[in-house]
Amino acid sequence: MTMKKITLMCFMMLGMLSSAVAQTETDNSLTFLDKNNKEVKEGSTITINTVSTSNLGEEQMEIELSLQNKSTNDLTVQLTADLTEMPSNTAFQSCAFGNCDIANNSMVKAFPAGKLSKGGIEALATEWLPNDVKNVSWTCRLSADIMEGDIQGGDLKLKAHGPKINVVFKRGTPTGIDTAMAEDATKEVARYTADGQRVSQPVKGINIIRQADGSIVKQLIK
């Protein structure tokens, strides 16, 4: 094989590699929204210093953000939290897309993926549970990626990177804790069918209800 052919093959392989990498680069279809539905730009840092207590008596610091699908296609989305700075004896949980999961240790945690319809908005329903840890500050790096594959079978792979932001939790002394009233804590903020589809009103069968305090309630509608 001549040197010219070898060089040509190398360029072709580099081109294929570059194309594969490009396919998993950032996609702008997703964006984070704050509690007023205003866009939180890529790479932004938000600070959370408000501690509330649920009707179960748990202290929590809620990330009051949502995800919006700006595209014209339904997307499979996975939320990932870099919790490597999270203090010991605390926890981080998310009930996004009607699937609750919790991390009890510092790690990079990929939460269960879910469907986000075109133009749809999904509340993250995500919070840090500081327990008795006080006078700390740490940063969570939050990202939302577009996935492809079978959600039910758990056979998913990365299709494109989505937005990334930094969330700084500042926990001081407990004097500023706001105790949520029971009626507010149990307010319904989202409703899903048994297969994870978000609905706007009760439907026949099992309904999964996410309340304002992050708790999940199952309801059977006949």
Ordered by where they begin, the domains of the chain are: 23-183 (2.60.40.10)
Q: Tokens 């840092």 identify what position?
A: 45
Distances (CA, A) of 149 to 24, 87, 119, 146, 153: 15, 34, 21, 11, 9
Write down the pLDDT at residue 176: 41
Which of 25-39, 56-70, 202-216 bottoms out in mean pLDDT, i.e. has the lowest?
A: 202-216
Inform me whether the pLDDT recorded for 98 exceeds 80. Answer: yes
What does DSSP assign to residue 131? T
Inform me whether the pLDDT recorded for 19 exceeds 80. Answer: no
- Give the span between the Cα atoms of 203 and 193, in whole angstroms: 7
Percent of the chain with pLDDT over 90: 51
Write down the pLDDT at residue 23: 52
Q: How many CA atoms lie within 13 A of 28 on its CB side?
A: 3
Tokens (6 digits) for 7 = 């060089």
6 CB burial (10 A radius; 0-12, 13-18, 19+): exposed
Which of 58-62, 89-93, 171-175, 197-201 bottoms out in mean pLDDT, i.e. has the lowest?
A: 171-175
Write down the pLDDT at residue 137: 95
